[in-house]
Amino acid sequence: MWPFSKSQPVVASGILCEMTDYHSHILPGVDDGVKTMNESLQILAEMKHQGVRKVWFTPHIMEDIPNTNAGLRERFQELKEKFRKPEDAYCGTVELNLAAEYMMDSLFAERLEADDLLFDAGDVRRLFQLSGVNVTDSEIDGILKESVGYPLGETTGFTPPMNLLPVLKRIQTKGYRPLLAHPERYLYMGTSYYCMLKQEQVAFQLNLPSLTGAYGTYIQKKAVSLLKAGMYDLTGTDMHSSKYFKEWLGTRIGSRDRDMLWAHFPACRDGL
């Protein structure tokens, strides 16, 4: 937070209007995020009210939570069907997409080598259906790899993985561009580390709650510093529950931080 700057609640700041949320845990019952379908729909209803345009569901995939692509796609389809029914509590217009947040562990390494990373294939599949062409999921994933190849990865917060840089380079040699989730939250990373990662063409995703002090003032200052330096490429809420979302909407963001977000980060409203 900038000293002496005016601030306003997130709900009144406009930072969610026309936003694409590239990081959330709203897909119900698959990780440590939202547990029920109704809670997911409540969050999406409030996101629609706040003007959010697109939401990417990014459930955890890690050794402790070994979600499969097939299982996540099935759950995603269930939510989309519920989401579109007018007789239900919420019939939404927010565009929904499915990806994943990968802990950069041995499970991720295995799936990376197998080209088994999760991207939403819905739009591409519909285009082929409209043209009368039948394609398999693997063929669609290959097409998406060329155009939407940004796997979202994370590390533990306190200590750096011994092989982080080699893993990031391997992601690139496989044809993807690594996207690092909430780099401001990694306590072991400092200015020189961030600069090294950017030189290696690693994209950064900002957790918007970091700007309001949701994870403490130290993380908040790091987020503001990275934002000021123009290091972020995408934003997300990293939302895990409706209770937390409502509470966060009531927290305050500094006007200068808000303006800097808009000035340095047009990608928060669109794509990379």
pLDDT in tens, 3-47: 445 899 999 999 999 899 999 999 999 999 999 999 999 999 999
Structure tokens at 57: 């569901």
pLDDT of residue 86: 56
Structure tokens at 43: 């969050």
- pLDDT 10s digits, 45-104: 999 999 999 999 999 999 999 999 999 999 999 999 888 765 555 556 899 999 999 999
- pLDDT 10s digits, 90-149: 556 899 999 999 999 999 999 999 999 986 444 445 444 544 556 565 665 555 544 446
pLDDT of residue 90: 54
pLDDT reading at 199 higher than 70: yes
pLDDT reading at 266 higher than 80: no
- Closest by alpha carbon to 181, among 104, 97, 95? 104
pLDDT of residue 269: 47
Higher-scoring residue by pLDDT: 1, 73? 73
Angle 37-50/242-249 helices, nearest 10 degrees? 20
pLDDT reading at 267 higher than 60: no
Structure tokens at 228: 């000021």
The model carries a pTM of 0.86
Lowest mean pLDDT among 4-8, 180-184, 263-267: 263-267
pLDDT of residue 93: 81
